[in-house]
Structure 1
Amino acid sequence: MTNTNPKNWLVLIGISLAAIMVPIDYTIVNTCLALIQRDLNMSIAQLQWLMTGFGITFCALLTVMGRLADILGRRRLTYLGCIGFGLASLGAGLSHSSFLLIIMRVLQGIFGAIMFPAGSAIITDAFPKKDQGKVLGIYGACMGIGLAIGPVLGGIITGLLNWRWIFFINIPVIIISLLICIPVLRESKHPCQLSIDWVGMILLILSLASLVFAISMGSEYGWGSLIIISTFIIAILSITALILIENKVKDPLLPFHLFTNHGFQASAWAYSIFVGFSWVVIFLTPLYLHDVVGFNTLQTGLMLLPMTIMTIIFPKISGHLYDRFKASVVMSIMFSTTIIAYLLFLFFQPNIPYWFIILVFIIYGASWGMGNGVGTPLAISQLENNNDVGVVAGAVITILNIAGVIILAFATTIFNYSQHYFLGYYLQQSATSFTATQIQAIHAALANPDQAANLIQQSSPAQATILLALFKTTFADGFRIVIALLLLLTLIGLPFALRSAKFLIKHD
């Protein structure tokens, strides 16, 4: 029997309640993207900033804020993160412009990064060593479960209320968390010799923000425009400076020396690409179900429920597989189920039966859950020095977010180009004639929901029917192109991943 103080379990409940809101908010917007796009007149390129804006600041500040909490006080930083996150959520719910909503998402990422690592340290201090593995496992599970239930929760809340409540709902949860924590939470500090890599943090934010902006907005401003060329130059310079500085500072934000370990390198690259691809799937599939299949947000959220259940169940299953078999076996199963899911995604149609959607999401959820279950442990297990575990865990989270941000930016750009390509082709083949001005307006309407609605209203009944069909068809075509590319890259990467697994076997 454990002699743990009952108050410590209240600490765990209060901290975990606040912490789970961070990953939930990461993905809760996904099922509501179509409604947000319509209400705030946002393009696909702008929509992806609702995820990447959050992701850039969260991953860049996570390690820095963990060290700052050790110095200034973990309780103080936890309260600051909770209150700031609640206020940013209120601002997001009240936003009436795309720019303001993106800014609020960036602030959510900042305050989430303040809150999350401080909570981990508080829990470690609150429990005796014999209980720390169990309670940190519970706290860590908040990240995976939160990411998984976010889209489902978003669909249900939006279906019953409206999309603004996906942000408002955070406020009472944060208040309850604070009411639980305030009476039982004690201040704790751990001033250590680790320095805070402020320069690395700034360069990482600048690198990711400029690179993602250039990639996602190039088609809108023109790839040869001054603003896009300038942001590409800023990205290249800041990435170069980041690599040079991180190899020289004592306690780098991104410890590049870890990549000299072949086992860590293999597991980190495989897992980061896997997670980056999952960002793309979870961004595009809710939009597909709404815009092409015609589901409302509640239906979309419920359709994602099987995937959510699988992502909760399969980390434990993959953990058992990892304990019993070689790393190459686990990676083979994970990649194989992902490939099957991508193949099935290619068969999505506007009149797709419900059972087929559920089947695909079950398979994809199983592969995603397996990745979540073994990804970080696999990377950590490659180290011979246990003192680096905290550094590696933070580095893995940072790398995963970087991969997600960059891969999603590339995917949305490819999606946009595919849409415009197929739209031009279909308009040429159409029996109904459109003027050059109308064709230009139709292309512009792909990125502008208000313009698309006005265009349909101003068209003849025959043209309006064709336009509606075109918008659905080109979205489906763009979706299939992106999924086909993910499938191709996964097939190409599989042999390399399995070949790299020979470096992992030594540490299994």
Structure 2
Amino acid sequence: MDDGANDGETTGAGAASARAQRLVLLIAILASFVSFLDGTVVTVALPAIQRDLGGGLATQQWVVDAYLITLGSLILVAGSLSDVFGRIVVLRVGLIGFGITSIAAAAAIDPMFLIVARGLQGIAGALLVPSSLALITSTFRGPAQSRAIGTWTGATTAAMLVGPVLGGAFVDLVSWRLVFLINVLPIGATLWLLAILHQRDKRRAGATVDWLGAMLCTVGLGGAVFALIEQERLGWSSPAIWGTMVIGILCIAGFLVRQRFAREPMMPLGLFRIRNFSAGNLATAFVYGALSLNGLVLAVYLQQGAGLPATLAGLASLPSTVIMILFSSRVGTWAGKLGPRMFMTLGPLTMAVGMLLLLTVREDFDYWLQVLPSVIVYGIGLTITVAPLTAAILGSIEPERSGIASAVNNAVARIAGLVTVALLGMMVGGVLDLQGFWRVAIVTAAMFALGGVISFAGIRNPRAVADVSPSM
């Protein structure tokens, strides 16, 4: 009788644990989906925003980069905030803030209002991704963690790809303003799931927030990005350009010095002594920088250069979305068994091939022959890359530091996108014509290829995987 009762209790506990894991995974996906979706859904609406509110290529760059500046710099603070106040609390605050700032962006009356609202959105978005991913890494262990990360990356990266589809439909059928309100439903659903999770929040005793480091990082990135975007209009000889660039560089240097000596650094430099963490983040910089640049340029060129409506421009990336949804979890499982190195090498190289296929685009535009092959090859490479990349980086760090490790990796990804978007004007000469489109395709191909080479040279499979791989 007692044994039966114990077995029943064990079974009940196991079922409760499985339910909690499913809830955590769903919460992490939805919360990150909000941030990733907003980062890409806007790109397809940029031509419509420009027609309505005014501004040229620089305004389009700022609508993207205002979000990325605050997201990329404050995502590091979010990792510390999660340790101080708890991941669930930070997640809840981020969701509410994101909803409010999304409504503000939808109500924008001029470019400056929209750019400010986008910057505030980035602050709220910075609270979402590290906390949600840290929930996964603290809840799942072993192969289950690799599968969960694979599912998370598939769903959240699919948000990056499906965003232009939804955005294009709203732009053509209703208004670009509704693009910023897409997140209302997932925000509400995530807040409800957090309420029924009933999981005790985790805080780290003695944790503090490095506010000085946050200020240095934000001012440094803002100054450098301002110079890179506005130099096309003002020229490098303008004090407003070289002055802000100098301030930006000095603040970034100050940030690194601060991280070296701060008691509770936002970005512990010691993490970079771990081989897979440093190599994985370097690969992340090239891969995600290319992802952001390609996403913006393809969405804008298909409308302004090829003459497609916003809906069709958004649908152009749909095959990649389907591939990600179907295979990301499976790739995450394979990477957990075989190790991430092979996937992180072949994936970016495959994406590089996909980018080179865009060189077939001509004035007499044909999506089926000139763009679709690139999108399919690119989607395959992206699916092979993303889950193993995330697992390799977070798997190299002990679970109790997963929050800050996740924040650093996400900051690297967003800052890389921030810089490449800021450099767009220099690449295309201020006008995104066919020649500029080709130049961007070559640059992104080179960046993807470098990401693959770095992964091959720097990533090492975990010892347990390396021991069993030869016999498989």
TM, length-normalised to structure 2: 0.84
What's 1:159 paired with?
172
1:358 to partner: Cα distance: 1.8
Question: In the aligned structure 2, how far is the partner of 1:196 from the partner of 1:87?
Answer: 24
Equivalence for 2:324: 311
Q: Which residue of 1 aligns with 2:439?
A: 481
Amino acid at match of 1:374: P
Q: Which residue of 1 aligns with 2:387?
A: 373
In the superposition, relative to structure 1, how do residues 70 and 271 fare at CA in structure 2: closer, same or farther (>3 Å)? closer
What is the Cα deviation at residue 398 of structure 1? 1.5
Alignment of 1:186-205 (within 5 A): 188=201, 190-205=203-218
Which residue matches 1:84? 97
Question: Match for residue 330 of structure 1?
Answer: 343
Judged with a 3 Å threshold, the aligned counterparts in structure 2 of structure 1 residues 185 and 340 are, in CA distance, closer, same or farther, namely same
Query: Does structure 1 residue 214 correspond to structure 2 residue 172?
Result: no
Query: How far off its partner does 1:403 sit?
Result: 1.4
Q: Which amino acid aligns with 1:103?
A: V
Tell me whether 1:4 sits opposite 2:16 in the alignment.
yes
Aligned-partner residue type, residue 480 of structure 1 = W
- Listed as ranges, the matches of 1:270-419 within 5 Å are 270-319=283-332, 322-323=335-336, 329-356=342-369, 357-382=371-396, 387-417=400-430, 419=431
Matched, 1:32 2:24: no
Aligned to 2:238: 225
Q: Report the Cα distance in structure 2 between the residues aligned to 1:387 and 1:322, rounded to whole angstroms.
A: 22
> Aligned-pair distance for 1:315?
3.0
Deviations 1:441-484 (A, max 9, x none): xxxxxxxxxxxxxxxxxxxxxxxxxxxxxxxxx61111111222
Q: Across the two proteins, how many residue pairs are aligned to each other? A: 450
State the Cα distance separating 1:50 from its structure 2 match: 2.2
Unpaired segments of 5 or more residues in structure 2? 1-10, 467-472
Q: Does 1:94 align with 2:107?
A: yes
> Aligned letter for 2:439?
I
What SS class does the counterpart of residue 207 from structure 2 fall into?
coil
Quickly say closer, same or farther: Cα 1:128–1:348, change in 2 above 3 A.
Answer: closer
Q: CA deviation at 1:61?
A: 2.1
Distance 1:136 1:365, change over 3 A: closer
Deviation at 1:362?
Answer: 0.9
Deviations 1:275-334 (A, max 9, x none): 111111000001111112111111112221112122333434543553565655334422
The letter for the 1-side match of 2:16 is T
Corresponding residue for residue 260 of structure 2? 247
Instruction: Map residues 454-469 of structure 1 onto 2, 5 A cutoff.
Output: none
Deviates more, 1:4-13 or 1:227-236: 4-13
Residues 1:498 and 2:445 aligned together: no
CA deviation after TM superposition for structure 1 residue 504, in Å:
5.5
CA gap of 1:476–1:98, structure 2 versus 1, over 3 A, is same
Stretch deviating more after TM superposition (401-410 or 60-69): 60-69
Q: Distance in 2 between matches of 1:364 and 1:104?
A: 32
Q: 1:239 is aligned with what amino acid?
A: I
Q: Distance in 2 between matches of 1:32 and 1:69?
A: 33
* Structure 2 residue aligned with 1:61: 74
After TM superposition, give the deviation of residue 138 of structure 1 in Å.
5.1
CA displacement at 1:347 relative to structure 2: 1.2
Cα distance per residue 1:239-285 (max 9 Å; x no partner): 11111111112332222223333443323212320111111100000
Instruction: State the shift of 1:216 in Å.
Output: 1.1
Task: Give SS of 2:15's match.
Answer: coil
Q: Is the partner of 1:145 in helix, strand or coil?
A: helix
Secondary structure of 1:4's aligned partner: helix
Q: Return the alpha-carbon distance in structure 2 between the equivalents of residues 226 and 65 of structure 1.
A: 34
What's 1:114 paired with? 127
Aligned residues of 2:429 and 2:436 also touching (Cα < 8 A): yes
CA positional deviation for 1:486: 3.0
- Answering whether residue 160 of structure 2 is matched by residue 147 of structure 1, we say yes
Look up the equivalent residue of 1:368 and give its one-letter code. Answer: L
Matches for 1:174-185 after TM superposition, within 5 Å: 174-179=187-192, 181-182=194-195
CA pair 175-76 structure 1, distance change in 2 beyond 3 A:
same
Structure 1: distance between partners of 2:450 and 2:196:
55
What is aligned with 1:446? none
User: Residue by residue, what CA displacement relative to the aligned partner does 1:325-352 show, whole Å, maximum 9, x if unpaired?
Assistant: 5655334422331221122111112333
Distance verdict in 2 for CA 1:505–1:410, change over 3 Å: farther
Deviates more, 1:275-284 or 1:201-210: 201-210
Structure 2 match to 1:458: none
**Amino acid of the structure 2 residue aligned with 1:415:** V
Structure 2 vs 1, CA of residues 475 and 157 (structure 1 numbering), >3 Å: closer, same or farther?
Answer: same
Secondary structure of the 1:247 match is: helix
Q: For residues 247 and 180 of structure 1, do their structure 2 counterparts lie closer, same or farther at Cα, with a shift above 3 Å needed?
A: closer
Q: RMSD between aligned alpha carbons?
A: 3.2
Q: Any stretches of 5+ residues in structure 1 without a counterpart?
A: 420-473
Task: Name the stretch that deviates more: 167-176 or 399-408.
Answer: 167-176
Q: Is the 2:149–2:332 Cα contact (8 Å) retained in structure 1?
A: no
1:150 aligned counterpart, secondary structure: helix
Compare 109-118 and 324-333 and name the one that shifted more.
324-333
Higher-Rg structure is 1
CA displacement 1:71-120 (0-9 Å, x = unmatched): 34555444432222111111111112111111111111111223444455
Q: Distance in 2 between matches of 1:329 and 1:5?
A: 33
Question: Are the equivalent residues in 2 in contact too, given 1:328–1:498 (CA < 8 A)?
Answer: yes
Q: Does 1:238 align with 2:251?
A: yes
Deviation at 1:12, TM superposition (A): 6.0
Offset, 1:230? 1.2
Counterpart pick for 1:20 among 33, 37, 47? 33
Distance 1:138 1:496 in 2: 25
Output the amino acid matched with 2:433. F
